[in-house]
Amino acid sequence: MLRTIVQAPTPGEPALVELKHWLGINRPNEDETLGQILQASVTICEAFTGKAPLRQTVEEIIPLSGSWHELISRPVHQLTGAALLSPDGSREVIEVPADALEWRLGSSGCIRLRRPLIGDNLAVHLVVGIAADWTGLPAPLRHGIIRLAAYNFRDREGQSHGLPPASVTALWRPWRDVRLG
């Protein structure tokens, strides 16, 4: 399966204000750098927990078969569209009728075909994420993202070897999805 982010999550101004407060910065000259570090911290949080912390739209490509396919992105809130992909790369948008696709949404999403469709693969568009915006994000995830961003801002020379500190992973661990195989 292939996953592409169609609309990336944005922590926004409330996250930037919180990070600047944490770091004791009141000047705007670091805002762009801090915003990029926040975005990277959100991505690392998703990689660690297996769940998108903030709402985003993604596209996943799944094979055309009658078996269940578990989606990579979590948690899935909504299936917003689907398209058949042909071998030449062209797309044919399909409605998502109940007689063609069956899906289960929840912490993880699963999709299967209920009838044969002609094409190479199926592209599905999904809205995923724990919270719609920064203020709706649970405190342990939000605080871990801020701590990681502050840690990386202070460690601009790269002495950390890219690993999140234990204080961050301890906040995120209860949210982590563990999957076998």
84 and 109 assigned to the same domain: yes
Q: What is the pLDDT of residue 96?
A: 67
Any domain includes 180: no
Any domain includes 29: yes
9 and 47 assigned to the same domain: yes
Any domain includes 162: yes
8 and 43 assigned to the same domain: yes
Give tens-digit pLDDT for 58-73. 999 998 888 888 899 9
Q: What is the pLDDT of residue 162?
A: 65
Q: What is the pLDDT of residue 46?
A: 95
Any domain includes 181: no
Q: Per the structure, how many domains does the chain have? A: 2
49 and 136 assigned to the same domain: yes
Any domain includes 160: yes
61 and 120 assigned to the same domain: yes
Q: Which three-class secondary structure string do you get for the chain?
A: CEEEEEECCCCHHHHHHHHHHHHCCCCHHHHHHHHHHHHHHHHHHHHHHCCCCECEEEEEEEECCCCCEECCCCCEEEEEEEEEECCCCCEEEECCCCCCEEEECCCCCEEEECCCCCCCEEEEEEEECCECCHHHCCHHHHHHHHHHHHHHHHCCCCCCCCCCCHHHHHHHHHHCCCCCC
Q: What is the pLDDT of residue 48?
A: 94
Any domain includes 88: yes
112 and 99 assigned to the same domain: yes
20 and 69 assigned to the same domain: no
147 and 169 assigned to the same domain: yes
Which one-letter amino acid corresponds to residue 1? M
45 and 90 assigned to the same domain: no
Q: What is the pLDDT of residue 107?
A: 64
Any domain includes 93: yes
Print pLDDT tens along the chain (181 aa). Answer: 699 999 999 999 999 999 999 999 999 999 999 999 999 999 999 999 999 999 999 999 998 888 888 899 999 988 888 889 988 889 988 876 666 677 776 667 888 888 788 888 999 999 999 999 999 999 999 999 999 999 999 887 666 666 789 999 999 999 997 766 5
123 and 99 assigned to the same domain: yes
Any domain includes 19: yes
63 and 123 assigned to the same domain: yes
**Domain span holding position 106:** 57-128
Residue-level length of the chain: 181
